[in-house]
A and B are shown apart, each in its own frame.
Chain A
Amino acid sequence: MTQLALVIDLNVCVGCHACVTSCKEWNTSGPAGFMTDENPYGKDPTGTFFNRVQTYEIGEFPKTETLHFPKSCLHCEDAPCVPVCPTGASYKREQDGIVLVDYDKCVGCRYCTWACPYGAREIDEDQKVMKKCTLCVDRIYDESLPEAERKPACVLACPTSARLFGDVHDPESDVSVTIREEGGYQLMPEWGTHPSNHYLPRRKTRMHIHEDELQRADNPLNKEQRGPSGPVEGTTLDDSTSW
């Protein structure tokens, strides 16, 4: 069974928010739209986004790491938002594992918000329905798009290609290979939700300098010794030997 998901590489994410706004621009005018903005030109603007980037600092100066952490619905295999929904609006698609909300059935009761341990759901304050990442289900099967573009908008946008998309159940898929080989992990596995989205950890490249690399035969300073150019002043053996 297919389980589509995102794999997000924290090793290259620079926190640029391209995924945040490209998601919004695609989805606000699509089947999942519109995505309301409250006070768009006033005090405390706020709006519906399916995807947000949080930034954390780890450690103390000067050993500080700054981590950018994009977060959206993780499309859990055992999605806790689905069984709590009283109207059946929240559902997981059998064919690809995408968790969706049927707005026609949603009554905006927010049970799913409370059930989701990841804070991935957002109520649309205007339409009073629950909204969330659809993995751009309206793009990925759209045959009018070039095949290379049948991907979520955030994946297409990401300038560092930190967002990979594919079937995590297919062991040969790029995402499965990457998870396996690059240490991909799930968020809060202890909750038993089996999130489909995975994250790749930071990886450091270090350089070790060996002493012999600094004591070099090819040291160009050796070329700067000026050779003796003429007779030297003072006494030498020339003046005192007789063989």
Chain B
Amino acid sequence: MTVLHDPIQPPAGRIETKNTTCYMCACRCGIRVTLRDNEVRYIQGNPDHPLNQGVICAKGASGIMKQYSPARLTKPLKRVEGAERGAAQFEEISWDEAFQIMEDRLSHLRETDPKKFALFTGRDQMQALTGLFAKQFGTPNYAAHGGFCSVNMAAGMIYTIGGSFWEFGGPDLERSKLFIMIGTAEDHHSNPMKIALSKFKRDGGRFISINPVRTGYSAIADEWVPIKPGTDGALILALIHELIKTGLYDRDFLVQYSNSAELISTDEASDDFGLFVRTDIPQDTECFEAQDRVWWDRTSDKPMHAREESVDPYLLGEFTMPDGRQVKPAFQLLKDRVEEYTPEWAAEVTGIPAETIKTLAHEMGITARDELIELPIAWTDAWGKDHETITGNPVSFHAMRGLAAHSNGFQSIRALSILMSLLGTIDRPGGFRHKAPFPRPIPPCAKTPKGPEGVQPNTPLDGMPLGWPAEPNDLFVDDKGEPVRIDKAFSWEHPLSAHGLMHNAITNAVNKDPYDIDTLLIFMANMAWNSSMNTDEVRKMLNDKNEDGSFKIPFLIVADAFQSEMSAYADLLLPDTTYLERHDVMSMLDRPISEFDGPVDSVRIPVVPPTGECKPFQEVLIEMGSRLKLPAFTNEDGTRKFRDYPDFVVNYETAPGSGIGFLSGWRGKGGEKFMKGEPNPNQWEMYEKNNCVYHHHLPKSFQYMRNWNRGYLKWSQEHGLQRYAEPINIHIYSEVLMKFRLAAQGKLEGKQPPERLRKRVDENFDPLPFYAEPLEVQLTDKQKYPLAALTQRPMAMYHSWDSQNAWLRQIHAHNYMYIHPSTAQAQDIEDGGWMWAESMHGKVRCMARYSEAVEPGTIWTWNAIGKASGAWNLDGNANEAKKGFLLNHLIAEELPKNECGEHISNSDPVTGQAGWYDVRVRVYKAKDDEPKETYPQFDEMPAVPGTGERRKKQGFFAGMFTKGAK
């Protein structure tokens, strides 16, 4: 390759462009890929794509280096007989052999005890398929990454407002005036958030960031409010206190659209204590939440049927029903609850001055009340009342793992949802808006089996592997109240664990707690590194053996595109394709990319052929589903039903003739239908012609107030989005939670928690949000371990996905521990010097970096930049291994032994959300004679067969790169 004289003359070569969808993070932007002589020359944002509108991020623009990384796995591999797991000693095998090994093993398990097969997946974006496979196999032991990511955010909001942030909804920055971002990782959400935030700021919106650390998005905030980690709930409850005290809430909204005015029995002697008072109108069994509640009417001063046109209820007060029961409206109970949560109290807890908290509440309340938006859009509510306009209060929020990844996160997020509701901002212009298929009933209808009888040999699971319990009897437990799932999800330990607890699956399986499994299949989840808490021990567990020398987890299958840390532990290692090499769907059955104005789903279509013998994991599942003769993948005569994954996507229906499949666009024989319709043989071509995306624009009158919008609810029912067209009222008071509490108190018939968990359920299933320190913090000696330690995610790296990327690793090759100078200097730790951070579980040695942009009681680092030596096919002495480190070594997957038991997950007691950010540490200077490298270090992982050469120098030039040019 010679250098070129003419700065404009394009190099020679055959140019093609193709559209597909990015997968450098979970954002799923539309991309246009330019190829030159069949090599990727340029990846740009697709200007015609609704999500990213032509822009692309640092990761997306570096896809070329992912595609041609030497860390690519390219051949099916089998662990060398007798080699230790983790040593990465593999021999090549054929796909035929790999399939045969899996078929023999899995068919036996399915015939005997299907729960012995466990399938856990990472940020895979194909839960519709992996979940279907698990259900069809008949194993309950399936989950994706949500339990260790942000299930608190999903569950806390969905159990309150019927929707949540990111894929399910978000801030309407187009019309918002005040935007508050709390504890947000900088890739949740990525490009759409950047686009919207920039426009918002340019339009004069005010942006406040509440976060212990000021990086990324927070950097451009008009005001940064530093907060102590894990205290968000205290702040939010104090904001609610101040809003109620000053009368800055939206009373009309709360009355009509939430259960604020509905009366609750406060009479401890009554049968319905803690439950809503109900009218004697017979319950509508076709409804998920009967409209049978009672208000106390201001005019007649009597209890009346709620939401009658003529009734004007009290929100506050205490009343006596004609039968003598004492009752209060939900809002009064909320007011009682937040009485003690004064700004002065919260200042002590959060480190935010009381005046700042009051001002925040006043800014929110005044903006909401005085900047009313009124759009000339007529709509009809669920009770039949016509409205000439859509109104809204322009205060919006966004929050993610900073709130979620604490064991008190569920209740903090309940509090946030209630704060948003008090401001009257749910699915209204300028506030929070849903994205289809949300809103859902509270809780959503999907349920798991209710006991071990739901798991039977040679039979699909009797329910979904993951679901949304509405009451104790929905739990997935045996007759002693103990878990049926290996991760103990949907048991009394974590009743509402809607995304499972993948972070405990390995530990539980090794401890045979509640039982042992045979085969664990892990798809693109780095459980031997950044996706596990207590990483060092989990790595040992993966290799742990019984006395007879057999592995405690007998068979371990790993499917991944790259030589991750996890791949070293596989017995069978399956090479996946990259996103540029395969068909994919961002399905309405999983987490689509919908916009506020309507449902959107999208696809990936290969732009280059698979490398080596790489096979899309979807094809592996289709093949295995056919070989195992799982009903959904097999014709009645037992023959294979689907040729391959694209064929499956077109022809699979959720039930015979349901018309609902993986893709919602261009359904019907000629592509004339959407959402529902018979399979269309040309569906892929139609997506391809339309930028790989289907975007259905709802009429304006269906775009707001969707919890209560008759038109929208009927539309979504008619199009198969949901079973019901009933109003979805906001749960200020959660009767769902109260039922679990009553069961724990022995006051509700049906399933009962084991004795050891009664107190835990009673305390945590509070129907109103409360603040308590995270569980781990409660069990920590804070004199000894005074500091919080947490991670942030950089915008240029997604989890551990990009250290094999030659360009991105030049941005983040190693990570520092960011620490406030005063905190560091108290321990003689120098800027750039080596230091230790130690928790009660473990310690890391790392380099310190002084920062004024961190709350002094907190230290932090970038997540997953540190790598094990040799992993991701980097040199053993790469910066990632020698200067980079993983905070996970400080964090345990189980709580210290406590009254609830010895093996209780370090997670939210309601949802099972991993408490990543609850760890407390102490710091001290590393001694001068210690090695100048991070601790812990691990034996170097060798390059596995089929991976590429680690070039010492490279100059990528599309069209010549794989032909041997530099």
Contacts and interface: CB of A to CB of B under 8 A. Distances in A.
A4 to B, nearest CB: 13
A57 interface: yes
A131 to B, nearest CB: 10
B314 A224 contact: yes
Contacts of A116: none
Given A18-B61, A21-B62, A31-B4, A209 B366 contact: yes
Interface string A27-52: 01111111111111111111101000
Contact of A103 (B5, B820, B952): B5
A47 to B, nearest CB: 6
A16 B874 contact: no
B55 A156 contact: yes
Contacts of A43: 875, 877-879, 882
Interface in B158-205: 178, 186, 190-191, 194-195, 197-198, 201-202, 204-205
Interface stretch (B230-238, B589-597, B849-857, B893-901): B849-857
A214 to B, nearest CB: 6
A61 B820 contact: yes
B205 A205 contact: yes
Contact of B198 (A162, A220, A226, A227): A162
Nearest to B949: A41
B254 to A, nearest CB: 9
A8 to B, nearest CB: 13
A127 interface: yes
B926 to A, nearest CB: 21
Given A36-B955, A209-B359, A214-B362, A224 B315 contact: yes
Contacts of A142: 8, 10
Contacts of B3: 103-104, 127, 129
A14 B194 contact: yes
Interface in B280-316: 298, 301, 314-316
Nearest to B877: A43
A12 B202 contact: yes
Given A14-B220, A25-B42, A66-B219, A35 B955 contact: yes
B324 interface: no
A38 B807 CA distance: 11
Contacts of B875: 39, 41-43
A213 B370 contact: yes
B800 to A, nearest CB: 16
Interface string A192-226: 00000000001011110100011010111111101
A47 B4 contact: no
A159 B45 CA distance: 10
Contacts of B36: 29
A93 to B, nearest CB: 9
Given A127-B3, A224-B317, A16 B877 contact: no
Contacts of A17: 57-58, 795-796, 811
B954 A29 contact: no
User: How many A residues touch the partner, as a band?
Assistant: 35 or more
A46 B810 contact: yes
Interface in A46-65: 46-47, 49, 57, 59-62, 64-65
B957 interface: yes
A14 B795 contact: yes
Nearest to B803: A41
User: How many B residues touch the partner, as a band?
Assistant: 35 or more
Contacts of A206: 206, 222
A15 interface: yes
A66 B952 CA distance: 35
SS class of chain B's interface: helix, strand, loop or mixed?
A: loop
A229 B319 CA distance: 13
Contacts of A68: 219
Given A32-B7, A157-B56, A207-B206, A42 B952 contact: yes
Interface stretch (A78-86, A133-141, A169-177): A133-141
B531 interface: no
A25 B58 contact: no
Nearest to A213: B366
A174 B194 CA distance: 21
A11 interface: yes
B951 interface: yes
B64 interface: yes
A146 to B, nearest CB: 8
Interface in B37-87: 41-45, 47, 52, 54-62, 64, 70
A149 B45 CA distance: 11
B873 interface: yes
B959 interface: yes
Contacts of B362: 209, 213-214
Contacts of A87: none
A100 interface: yes
B8 A141 contact: yes
A161 interface: yes
Contacts of A6: none
A26 B42 contact: yes
B958 A29 contact: yes
A37 B191 CA distance: 27
Q: Which 8 pairs show the lowest CB-CB distances between chains A and B? A: A34-B955, A220-B251, A219-B247, A40-B806, A159-B194, A160-B198, A17-B58, A103-B3
15 contacts: A17-B796, A18-B57, A20-B796, A29-B42, A31-B8, A36-B955, A45-B810, A64-B852, A103-B3, A103-B4, A134-B7, A157-B57, A159-B55, A161-B195, A205-B222
Given A220-B251, A223-B298, 9 more contacts: A16-B796, A20-B811, A21-B796, A21-B811, A138-B9, A159-B56, A160-B198, A161-B55, A205-B205
